[in-house]
Amino acid sequence: MPDIPQSTKMNIFHKAKNAEQPRRILVEVVIIGSLYAIYTLGRNNTDASKSQAFTNAKHIIRVEHFFSMYIERSIHAYFLPFDWIIIASNYFYGSFHFIVTLFALFYVFAKDPKRYSHVRTTIVSGTLISLVGFITFPLMPPRLMPSDYGYVDTLAKYPTFWSFNTEEFAAISNQFAAMPSVHIVWSTWCVFSLFPYIKKRWLKILLCCYPICTLFVVIVTSNHYILDAVGGLAVFGAAYWVSRIITSLTTRSAIDKTASLAEINAK
């Protein structure tokens, strides 16, 4: 019996995937739930040293000074008098980026199953790489630096639903998980995920502004340094290539397996 052409194998493979849609949904829920559990446990149960985190923060500031990019304190100080901007940024930082990220994930899953594996594996890889950064490089964020550095903890000073400085939150959260900025990793990933499906130019521009707005938020709320954002971009780039390799290998294996089963059934 002649070999099945590659295009036919692909058609068989995607038909098989569509037939398994309910199972796929369950698998994806388990994957994302497990990722969040691993990320939360790893991030919050790291025994980070306050002195080491402070030392690392001084290193970061020194490097930024060297490259003339230590601008976060000036930006933070300029916007502090504008209460509504700070409060809105606090809510954005704590909530909005989760909502947008989940929307992007679900949208691609429903819209483009063929591309979804690459998209999902990218955010999984990026989040896990970030976790390694938190464990190996504890970093004191600007908001926790001594007062003479000129930063204000906006979540503690301005009214929000939560504060990272409460005893309850501090007991379960790693205050020094700042390098890289996961907000930047995820917001950049959202552009990567959704951009191919947007047709209107103004919506494309709006989407591309999302990571820029995220950068503004993490700086104005004194939660991150500029280098944290640079680290986030580097992590996204690494995650993208890791995902391409993994997706290529797993997809090829699944296609060959499905085609082999089809050949057996045909005989």
* pLDDT tens digits for range 8-24: 555 544 555 555 556 66
* Per-residue pLDDT tens digits for 67-87: 999 999 999 999 999 999 999
Task: Measure CA of the first residue to CA of the last residue in the chain; give whole Å.
Answer: 8
What are phi and psi for residue 13, nearest 5 degrees?
-60, -45
Mean pLDDT over residues 191-207, rounded?
Answer: 96
pLDDT of residue 114: 87
What b/e readout covers 68-97, taking b as 16+ CB neighbours within 10 angstroms? eebebbeebeebbeeeebbbebbebbbebb
Spatial neighbors of 137 by CB under 8 A, at least 6 apart, are 56, 179
The angle at the Cα of 241, spanning 117 to 243, to the nearest 5 degrees, equals: 20
Spatial neighbors of 104 by CB under 8 A, at least 6 apart, are 119, 189, 190, 193, 194
DSSP 53-84: HHHHHHHHHHHHHHTT---HHHHHHHHTT-HH
What b/e readout covers 183-204, taking b as 16+ CB neighbours within 10 angstroms? bbbbbbbbbbbbeeeeeeeeee
Q: Please state, rounded to an integer, the average pLDDT across all residues of the chain.
A: 82
Percent over 70 (pLDDT), the chain: 70
Provide the pLDDT confidence category of residue 158 given band limits of 50, 70 and 90.
confident
| Exposed/middle/buried for residue 12 (C-beta within 10 Å: 0-12, 13-18, 19+) | middle
Ranking 30-34, 101-105, 250-254 by mean pLDDT, the lowest is 250-254
Q: For residue 180, is the peptide bond before it cis, meaning its omega torsion is within 30 degrees of 0?
A: yes
Tally of helices (H runs) and strands (E runs) in the chain: 12, 0
pLDDT of residue 42: 59
Tell which phi-psi region holds residue 5, choosing left (phi > 0), alpha (psi between -120 and 50) or beta. beta
Which amino acid is it at 114? K
Mean pLDDT over residues 212-230, rounded?
Answer: 96
* Per-residue pLDDT tens digits for 101-130: 999 999 999 999 889 989 999 999 999 999
Distance CA 74, CA 87 (A): 18
